[in-house]
Amino acid sequence: MNPSGIFLLLAALSATGLASDIASSDAVVLEKRFFAAQQKTRTLEAAFTQTISAPGLASPTISRGQLFYRGPDDLRVSYQVPPGELMQLDAVTFTTIRTGRAPLARPAGHPSARALGALRDILRGTRPPGDMQVSVTRQAGNYLVVLVPSTPGNFQPERIENTIDADTMQLRSMSLTLPRGTVMRFDFSAVRRNHVLPAATFRLP
């Protein structure tokens, strides 16, 4: 779609109500626009709140911390609550550190890395693999973009929900529904994009 077409599309969407479904053809255009914007992200730093809901949990588990991304491969999630814990993913290794335990390193393709891998894919503008059913809903100043694999795989999310700022196309939150019903949600704030991260940001203890 040419720039004038995108402008007309966005103008039409801006005229919709607070919550309205968007035609599938327009949803695909918006999805492509979002991923194109993400591909311009070289680095990103943000505060986050992580909420995990799962069968068997009496109530959601809430954690907070700081996220660091350096494209295309480096992603670090450092927890302040609980303090001292982290997850880090690069092109080769997925590392976790938990309080009172030695660091645990696994291959980047390990099933335990799938949630962080899906988040990294979104941040670097890589569409999840396979055919996806895409739906978009306008909600006030945001778009809710829902991606559902046409053929679910064993080690990929069953549903990805991205809340995107309608003006900047920046990610505000991401929710992953994993196999067996676990839902992991990240809400982002204080986002700094494309600034220089210190060299030590991704250094493991």
Per-residue pLDDT of the chain (205 residues; tens, 9 = 90+): 333 333 323 333 333 333 456 666 677 777 788 888 889 999 999 999 999 999 988 999 999 999 999 999 999 999 998 888 999 999 999 999 988 788 899 999 998 898 888 889 989 988 766 677 888 888 888 989 888 887 766 557 888 899 999 888 889 999 989 878 899 999 999 999 999 999 899 998 7
CA angle (161, 28, 44) in 5-degree steps: 50
**CA atoms of 100 and 97, how far apart (whole Å):** 9
Task: Please name which of 57, 28, 37, 43 lies closest in space to residue 146, comparing C-alpha atoms.
Answer: 28
Taking the C-alpha atoms of residue 49 and residue 185, their distance in angstroms, rounded to an integer, is: 8
Give how far Cα 57 sits from Cα of 28, 60, 63, 143, Å. 36, 7, 15, 30
pTM for this predicted structure: 0.80
Structural domains in the chain plus CATH codes: 19-190 (2.50.20.10)
